[in-house]
Amino acid sequence: MYCVQCRELLDAPCPKRRHVMREPEDGDQVLLFRGDAVQAGILDAMLKDAGIPLLREGRLGSGLTAWAGEMLESYSVYVPWALYGKANELAMVLKAPPQEPGGGTDLAE
C-alpha cells in the first residue's frame, strides 16, 4: 500500500496516525531511496541517464545545508510509481545487502 502523506510503500498501515493509505497510482511520487549527498548524487545521475524523472528532497533544507555543508545533509529520492520498478533496479547498487540473522553476510563466509 501507498501512504499519501509519507509518499512511501508500506506492507502495514502507516505508523503515523491518520495517514491515508491506498494503492499507488502511476503519477504518485514514491520514495525510492534515502541516503547521504554522495549516494543521492550518484543515484540522481543514474536515473537521469536512464530518462527517469526524480524528485530529490533534503532533510535540512537549503539554508542550513549552505551553512553546515552538503555532507551533513540526508536526501530522499522519489520517482513516479509508473517507473518505480526500473528505478529500483538501478538503485539496488546503492542499497545495503540483506544481513544474515547472525550479523554476517554470505560474502564473508
At 4-37, the pLDDT tens digits run: 999 999 988 888 888 989 999 988 999 999 888 8
State the pTM of this model: 0.75
Q: What is the pLDDT of residue 104?
A: 46
Q: What is the pLDDT of residue 98?
A: 54
At 36-91, the pLDDT tens digits run: 888 888 899 999 999 999 998 887 665 545 545 566 678 899 999 999 999 998 88
Helices (H), 4-94: 37-49, 62-68, 84-91
> Per-domain residue ranges for the chain?
2-91
Q: What are phi and psi of 37, to 5 degrees?
A: -60, -40
